[in-house]
Copies of this chain bind each other. A is one copy, B any other.
Amino acid sequence: MTDILARDRNGLVVLDYETCLDRLRSRNVGRVALVEAGAPTILPVVYAMAGNAVVFRSTVGSKLEAAESSRPIAFEIDEHDTENRQGWSVLVTGVADVVDDPEIVDGLDALGLDSWALAEAGDTAWIRIRAEAVTGRAAPPRD
């Protein structure tokens, strides 16, 4: 953890961009937050990294509708060790776009990302988060 440098006002360690990307690449389940009628909602998604971008598959519904209109979106992963009161989280904020370039879609399909929620679903699309910020925090072991 030699890449950890700074702390925020709550005493949490600030994770740098490369550390955030490494952690994003080490997982495949996260949560998306969207705003619907002014109120936030949170949905778990199975995801992958396409380069430095978070991508996930969605059926027609709120997630996809948000992407179609390029509404703001947040994506988060975290891990917690409750016994030792340690944990970290990475947050990606930006807008979500439907990926419709056939060549890119073929590449994404080749990732083999198979959302559990789509077992009986109909139309699906690839959603890619165009990140405006990628930030991370960690609660290190107490002294």
Question: How many A residues face the partner with a CB closer than 8 A?
Answer: 44
Would you give the shortest CB distance from A93 to chain B, in whole angstroms? 6
Residues of B within 8 A of A93 (CB): 39-41
Docked pose: A41 CA to B142 CA in angstroms: 27
Q: Oligomeric state, in number of copies?
A: 2
**Cβ of A134 < 8 Å from any Cβ of B?**
no
Docked pose: A9 CA to B33 CA in angstroms: 20
In contact, B10 and A121 (Cβ under 8 angstroms): yes
Docked pose: A121 CA to B139 CA in angstroms: 13
Docked pose: A116 CA to B43 CA in angstroms: 24
Task: Across the A-B interface, give the 8 residue pairs with the lowest CB-CB distance, nearest first.
Answer: A11-B120, A39-B72, A33-B40, A116-B139, A42-B76, A33-B33, A40-B74, A29-B80
